[in-house]
A and B are shown apart, each in its own frame.
Chain A
Amino acid sequence: MIEVQNLTKRYGAVPAVDNISFTAHPGQVTGFLGPNGAGKTTTMRMLTGYMPPTSGRALVAGYDVFEQSLEVRRRVGYLPENVPLYRDMTALGYLMYIGEIRGIPNRRDKAYEVLEQVKLADRANSRIRTLSKGMRQRVGLAQALLHDPEVLILDEPTIGLDPLQVLELRELVRELGKNHTVLFSTHILSEAEQVCDSVVIIHRGTIVAQGSPSELRSTLERGGRVFVRTNAPAETALPRLQQLAQVAQVEAGLDGVIITPADPNADPRPAIARAVLENGWDLIELRPLAVNLEEIFLELTRAPEAAAEAEPTPESEVVA
């Protein structure tokens, strides 16, 4: 269980994480999404007790990350971004070292057990420098699993892996999510869609949206922009579609037209379909612009910038 309340981290005057709140539940994988520099790593560092928050509170496994840092550290497994490891140690040696610092009894058995779990038992005695990127990632994950933590915090664990390794790792994370609280950060959003039970989207240090992947999609399908493809040339299609009452704005997209609806709570698609047919064009494609989380994400992060002056985070109310 991770409970974050109004957590803020400032570097000097610059807020890296600005007043965020969310909860990650046990038995779930919570995705932490955002572009690079959004504040994901900073948040995770605060949750693992590596970095003290400027203000706000975070409870991990029931302990305050600032006041009871050592208790939190006992219960958290952390895989940092870029997986820092000692290159000159063997995988087993490294796990034994971490196990000794953690004070784990019979750590040799435990080390073999987690190596088995991450399918690396056959390379236990290889030096880490000779391991491939994917294998190192798994050594890092084994390190995070060594002490049977209640909470797992994984910072971009799939970065730099080849597609097959990515699939394996996602499978492993999903498996771990069944009996741990897993917080999993990524900027590849289709990944979160596959792996996560719940998603928190962070952008420029603030939470833009949170909910289950399907909730997020339905929100955007309802009020988001629509993509239309017809056989009519853009010069004729654009002005005609602009005239519709349900349409606020029309712009030419790749092979089609992107339509912004006038009313964000109403679906403009029936009206658009009718208009296309009435004009005698062939309707080839009509769909929400955002079909996967990747595009949902772009939609979400596009909006606050446009509306930044009016409201700080307009989308967070809509979704949460």
Chain B
Amino acid sequence: MTDQTPKMDEQEAFIPPYYMLILAVAGLVVALAVLVTQPTFTVVGWGALGIGALALVAWVLMAPDQAKAVITGRTARFGGTSLVVTAVFIVALIAIYVFIRGQNWRADLTERDTFSLTTESRQAIAGIGADPNLPSVKLLAFYGASQAGRRDQDTLLFDDYAQTSAGKIRWCSRSSSDPSPISYIPLSGTRPR
């Protein structure tokens, strides 16, 4: 993937500018695929992202008129840019979603507090948190492939543990098929509500 960069420069003079746009989009799609499917953003991802960005710059340099028309022309309101604007809008919505998810705001509406600790448990756990002699506790919860919903529910309970114990009890959930090593940090739910 990464070694394609010099080849691209070679061809620049012979190929029409819109090939650059296709290359840019392809690079970004590959980078996105890497982001989604791989645990870490590998060298392939960075390479694809780099190629995408370079191709975009190359297109602007090769066809400045075209690039200018995309931003200022009449088609800006009705044409191909409509697609770009829509894409940007959707990306913005996703960003808002990710931000809100990061806030980790949740509430247990059930009258019986099904997904929260009872008062007695809370007192006991607060005692554990306050006692400097007790070692910190790590909870490890395993979930099968089809138990993601269960995990979402339990998160409330585990967060309650973590919060009530002032961070002394930490927890981590694991999918049964996840091969990566266990890491207890960062924990959700330790932020102040």
Contacts of B77 in A (CB 8 A): 52
Select from chain A the residue with minimum beta-carbon distance to B78: A52
Chain B residue at smallest Cβ distance from A54: B74
Give bound CA distance, A55 to B78, whole Å. 13
Is A66's beta carbon under 8 Å from chain B?
yes
Q: Which residues of A contact B78 (CB under 8 A)?
A: 52
- B48 to A: closest C-beta gap in Å: 33
A52 vs B78: C-alpha distance in the bound complex, in angstroms? 8
What interface size band does chain B fall in? under 10
As a 0/1 sequence over residues 67 to 94 of chain B, the CB contacts with chain A under 8 angstroms (1 = contact) are: 0000000100110000000000000000
With both beta carbons as reference points, the residue of chain A lying nearest to B79 in the complex is identified as A52
> Inside 8 A of A54's CB, which chain B residues have their CB?
74
CB distance from A6 to the nearest CB of B (A): 14
How many Cβ-Cβ contacts under 8 Å join chain A to chain B? 6
B81–chain A nearest beta-carbon distance, Å: 13
**Which residues in chain A, 46-68, are within 8 Å of chain B measured between CB atoms?**
52, 54-55, 66
Task: Name which residue of chain B comes closest to A53, CB basis.
Answer: B74
Interchain CA distance A40-B78 in the complex, whole Å: 22
Number of interface residues of A (CB under 8 A): 4
Expressed in whole angstroms, the Cα–Cα distance for A66 and B74 within the complex equals 9
Q: How far is the CA of A20 from the CA of B77 in the complex (A)?
A: 23
- Nearest CB in chain B: distance from A218 CB, A: 41
Complex CA gap A55/B74 in Å reads: 9
CB of A15, distance to nearest CB on chain B (Å): 16
CB distance from A66 to the nearest CB of B (A): 7
Q: Which residue of A lies closest to B74 (CB)?
A: A52
Within 8 Å CB of A55, what residues of B?
Answer: 74
Nearest Cβ on chain B to A145's Cβ, whole angstroms: 30
Q: Tell me the minimal C-beta distance from B65 to chain A in angstroms.
A: 15
Expressed in whole angstroms, the minimum distance between the Cβ of B70 and any Cβ of chain A is 16
Bound CA span A66–B78, Å: 11
Shortest distance in angstroms between A69's beta carbon and chain B's nearest beta carbon?
Answer: 10
Q: How far is the CB of B34 from chain A (nearest CB, A)?
A: 37
**Complex alpha-carbon distance, A66 and B77, angstroms:** 10
A68 nearest CB across to chain B (Å)? 13
CB distance from B124 to the nearest CB of A (A): 64
Question: Using Cβ atoms and an 8 Å threshold, which residues of chain A touch B74?
Answer: 52, 54-55, 66
**Residue of A at shortest CB range from B77?**
A52
Residues of chain B contacted by A52 (CB below 8 angstroms):
74, 77-78
- Residues facing B in A147-203 (CB within 8 A) are none
Quote the shortest CB–CB distance from A58 to chain B (angstroms).
13
Tell me the complex Cα distance, A55–B69, Å.
13
Docked Cα-Cα span, A52 to B74, in Å, equals: 9
Interface string of B134-163 (1 = CB under 8 A from A): 000000000000000000000000000000
Q: Within the complex, what minimum Cβ distance (angstroms) separates A56 from chain B?
A: 11
The chain B residue with its CB closest to the CB of A51 is B78
Contact digits for B39-79, partner A, Cβ 8 Å, 1 yes 0 no: 00000000000000000000000000000000000100110
Could you tell me the distance between the alpha carbons of A52 and B82 in the complex, rounded to whole angstroms?
14
Shortest A55–chain B CB gap in Å is 8
Give the complex CA separation of A66 and B76 in angstroms: 13
Q: Least Cβ distance of B147 to chain A in Å?
A: 51
CB proximity of A290 to chain B, nearest CB, Å? 40
Bound CA–CA A161/B77 (angstroms): 39
Closest Cβ–Cβ distance, residue A45 to chain B (whole Å): 13
Chain A min CB distance to B106 (Å): 42
| A52 and B75 alpha carbons, distance in the complex (Å) | 9
Chain B residues with CB under 8 A of A66? 74
Query: Measured between C-beta atoms, what is the minimum distance from A67 to chain B in Å?
Result: 10
Q: Given the complex of chains A and B, what is the CA–CA distance between A55 and B77 in angstroms? A: 14
In the assembled complex, how far is the CB of residue A178 from the closest CB belonging to chain B, in whole angstroms? 37
A-B contact pairs, 6 of them (CB 8 A): A52-B74, A52-B77, A52-B78, A54-B74, A55-B74, A66-B74
Interface residues of A (CB under 8 A from B): 52, 54-55, 66
User: What 3 pairs across the A-B complex have the smallest Cβ distances?
Assistant: A52-B78, A52-B74, A66-B74
